[in-house]
């Protein structure tokens, strides 16, 4: 059980780090703030094609 809890904490930590790297959230100590999803314009999509 303790292993499961540590594993879950690690996965949450990993997910939060990904969201911070994508600038979707910001974190200050234990406070997490939603910044929003990145906006994709039609011209961006066309560039990717």
Going from N- to C-terminal start, the domains of the chain cover 2-48
For residue 24, the 8-state DSSP code is S
Q: State pTM to two decimals.
A: 0.67
Q: How confident is the model at residue 19 (pLDDT cuts 50, 70, 90)?
A: very high
| Separation CA 18–CA 38 (nearest Å) | 13
How does pLDDT run across 23-34, given as a tens digit for each residue? 899 999 999 999
- The CATH architecture that domain 2-48 belongs to is Orthogonal Bundle (1.10)
| Separation CA 34–CA 40 (nearest Å) | 18
Q: How confident is the model at residue 20 (pLDDT cuts 50, 70, 90)?
A: very high
């Amino acid at each position: 059980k303790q292993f499961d809890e540590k594993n879950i904490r690690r996965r949450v930590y990993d997910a939060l780090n990904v969201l911070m790297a994508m600038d979707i959230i910001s974190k200050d100590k234990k406070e997490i703030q939603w910044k929003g999803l990145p906006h994709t314009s039609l011209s961006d999509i066309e560039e990717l094609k």
